[in-house]
Amino acid sequence: MTTFCAEHGISRKTFYEIRRRSLADGPAAALEPRSRRPKSSPSKLADEVRRQAIGVRAALEQSGLDCGPVSVHDKMRAMGLEVVPSVASLARIFREAGVARLEPRKKPRAAWRRFVYAAPNACWQLDATEYVLTRGRKCVIFQLIDDHSRCAVASHVAWGETAEAAIVVFDKAQPPMACPNGCCRTTGPRSTRRAVDSWVSSSST
């Protein structure tokens, strides 16, 4: 057999493969070249994974839940899917499908200019941020910080951006913090702004 393989320029492994195919499919079929087509199609599998990812994202969004790449990745893993793309791949899939939430172009750090008050505890800054809970209900997070040191003075969570809730976060700051000379705040309801101005004026006197 060694001499036969050397004369025909084939390896012993090829000889045994041809003999196996000849016994299974016949001598003629054994000499026909076999198809090099892969048993599975990676591109077809990738398309199916994309459809699954977009479907999971749509289901989360309809349920009022967070539907970003991290949440979709965790949900797909929890579902026990065979192939779960990485968070970066999911972000790319959503961008290509046109379903990603576009964020405004951010300015470079060189364009940042920070404005701070000259002295600590002289001016507080009040921010109110709306947050969506897991079941779709909204709440508002009030944050009170010192405009000079950026120290967190107090915080409070309420169901809406009301004057009463704004006053509560100021009341939490006293004591131990002394009342500042002034307060700057983000835009909000006029009633809230009036209530904050009134509180600062009355507490400073």
Using DSSP bridges, classify how beta strands 152-158 and 138-146 pair: parallel, antiparallel or unpaired.
antiparallel
Pick the CATH number of 117-204 from 3.40.309.10, 3.40.720.10, 3.30.420.10, 3.90.79.10: 3.30.420.10
Supply the mean pLDDT for the chain: 77
Q: What is the mean pLDDT of residues 151-170?
A: 87
Written as one letter, the residue type at 63 is S
How far is residue 113's CA from residue 154's CA, in Å, rounded to a whole number?
Answer: 25
Residue-wise pLDDT tens digits, 163-175: 888 888 888 887 6
* pLDDT at position 110 over 80: no
Residue-wise pLDDT tens digits, 29-62: 656 666 556 655 555 558 889 999 999 999 998 8
Q: How confident is the model at residue 205 (pLDDT cuts 50, 70, 90)?
A: very low
Domain ranges of the chain: 1-32, 42-97, 117-204
- The neighbouring-strand residues paired with 141 are 129, 157
What would the two tokens of residue 166 be? 């704004």
191: nearest Cα among 173, 167, 168, 157: 167
Answer whether 0.85 is exceeded by the pTM. no
The per-residue pLDDT for 33 is 62
Burial of 145 (0-12, 13-18, 19+ CB in 10 A): middle
Q: Is 42 helix (H, G, I), strand (E, B) or coil?
A: helix
